[in-house]
Amino acid sequence: MTDSWRDHVRKMYASAIGRHRRELITPALILDLDVARRNLEFMTKRLSTMKAKLRPHVKCQKSVELARLQVEAGAIGVCTATVWEAIVMRRAGIQDVLIANQVGGREKIAALAHAARQGGLTVAVDHPANAEELSKATQAAGSKLDVLIEVDVGMGRGGVRSVEAALTLAHRLAELPGLRFRGVQGYEGHCMLEPDHALRIQKANAAMEYLGTVIDRLAAAGFRCEVVSGGGTGTYDITGNNSRVTELQAGSYIFMDNFHGGLVPGFSRSLTVLGTVIIQHGNTIVLDAGRKSVGIDFVLPSMVAYPFYQARYFAEEHALFDVDERCSLKLGDTAELTPGYCPSTVNLHDAYHVVEKDTVVDIWPIVPRGPGHGGILNDL
């Protein structure tokens, strides 16, 4: 289904190709490929001095085209948040895919075990009961699945809560057919929200130091960690320099947004949402791009051309700004918004309007969009 859906999306938005980025039907999601390429290059350059390799998180972009660009730029594969994202990426030819999350529920586990027949899939586990379900499913599907033990390094979400629990799980994994232990994942997500850079370094280092202890204890028990996966865009320059970490799960670096832009320098905004001024009274202007087209998580979006205005609010279909004489926008004009948060923005749209030199050159479908399986299950 995903291939026919991809074709369908391309056709739906094909009339945008060849247009200037300011002349699109709004709200429109725009990917400036020139800027995204510069972000790729900057990340490649930065990582060249670090030991860790990049495994970009595709929950941010949900695009096989972007994933391929990331792999061409040196990424060792990708990571995903869901089994459906992982299946889409494997089918698109990405050779090494990590589901950096627990997979639960009978059918999602079965889909994962089925997809594992083609190899190239790793999943995070943090509980013996979940590992047992995965093992049973691989037996039924006749497949083998690589696993990382997720270790809670302070975020308090996924991950075993102690060294002892990590050891218990490693021993259990060794007993379970169909599963192969490859290492650990420790995601220091609690550090991403720390705006103070010195404090972020301190927190991220503490998280990785604890992960190092777990790795040592696992090694002492005979479980060597070939893979140590962690990090995000907000900590890539800290965690990427940690001597234990082998791969970084940064994803937002390719787009940047108002949230991440405040955390790490050197990247530019490649993702925007174009809106049209549909309301104008006095100093108030309203664009037709609200919470149903642009992610406002953590930080509000802003206008690219007028970054100094703080939005009054984002309604479902409205972005409201109180402006002054510095703003020349008139009713019917279009303006680009920088999202507050890119992953939730992308998730709302059918496709990227891919722009080079300010002109739309391609339509890249966003797949899998939405929380459902979107028909992927029916194709297995």
Interaction of residue 39 with a second copy, rule CB under 8 A: no
Q: Which of 96, 126, 146, 362 binds a second copy (CB under 8 A)?
A: 126
Interaction of residue 53 with a second copy, rule CB under 8 A: no
Shortest reach from residue 337's CB to a second copy, in Å: 12
- Based on CB atoms, which residue is closest to a second copy, 159 or 183? 159
- Tell which residue, 305, 244, 353, has the closest CA to residue 23: 353
Q: In the beta sheet, which residues pair with residue 320?
A: 286, 313
Interaction of residue 250 with a second copy, rule CB under 8 A: no
Q: Which stretches of 176-286 are DSSP H helices?
A: 189-192, 197-220, 236-239, 258-261
Find the binding residues for a second copy in span 337-356 (CB under 8 A). 343-344, 347-351
- Tell which residue, 184, 186, 198, 190, has the closest CA to residue 237: 198
Q: Is the distance from CB of 83 to CB of 99 less than 8 angstroms?
A: yes
Q: Which of 127, 136, 171, 217 binds a second copy (CB under 8 A)?
A: 127
- Based on CB atoms, which residue is closest to a second copy, 25 or 174? 25
| Cα–Cα–Cα angle for 292, 67, 121, rounded to 5 degrees | 105
Interaction of residue 18 with a second copy, rule CB under 8 A: no
Find the binding residues for a second copy in span 282-321 (CB under 8 A). 282, 284, 286, 288-289, 291-293, 297, 312, 315-318, 320
Angle between helices 64-72 and 83-91 (to 10 degrees): 70
- Beta strand segments in the chain, E: 28-32, 53-54, 78-80, 97-99, 121-125, 145-150, 179-186, 227-230, 247-248, 271-281, 284-287, 302-303, 311-314, 319-322, 334-338, 351-356, 359-365
Interaction of residue 20 with a second copy, rule CB under 8 A: no
Shortest reach from residue 296's CB to a second copy, in Å: 9
**Other Cβ atoms closer than 10 A to 170:** 21
| Amino acid (one-letter) located at 332 | G
Shortest reach from residue 26's CB to a second copy, in Å: 6
Three-state DSSP at 347 gives: coil
Q: β-strands 271-281, 334-338: how paired?
A: antiparallel
- Tell which residue, 375, 305, 378, 377, has the closest CA to residue 6: 375
Three-state DSSP at 111 gives: helix
Q: Is the distance from CB of 148 to CB of 158 less than 8 angstroms?
A: no
Q: Alpha-carbon distance 321 to 283, whole Å?
A: 8
Shortest reach from residue 290's CB to a second copy, in Å: 9
- Based on CB atoms, which residue is closest to a second copy, 25 or 219? 25
- Based on CB atoms, which residue is closest to a second copy, 199 or 279? 279
Find the binding residues for a second copy in span 104-123 (CB under 8 A). 104-108
Segment lying near a second copy (by CB under 8 A), choices 30-38, 177-185, 251-259, 367-375: 367-375
Q: Which of 8, 45, 51, 180 binds a second copy (CB under 8 A)?
A: 8
- Based on CB atoms, which residue is closest to a second copy, 35 or 286? 286
Segment lying near a second copy (by CB under 8 A), choices 6-14, 135-143, 168-176, 215-223: 6-14
Shortest reach from residue 360's CB to a second copy, in Å: 13
Shortest reach from residue 11's CB to a second copy, in Å: 7
Q: Alpha-carbon distance 141 to 9, whole Å?
A: 32
Interaction of residue 372 with a second copy, rule CB under 8 A: yes
Find the binding residues for a second copy in span 175-194 (CB under 8 A). 189
Q: Which of 334, 336, 337, 342 binds a second copy (CB under 8 A)?
A: 334
Interaction of residue 374 with a second copy, rule CB under 8 A: yes
- Based on CB atoms, which residue is closest to a second copy, 174 or 331? 331
- Based on CB atoms, which residue is closest to a second copy, 77 or 159? 159
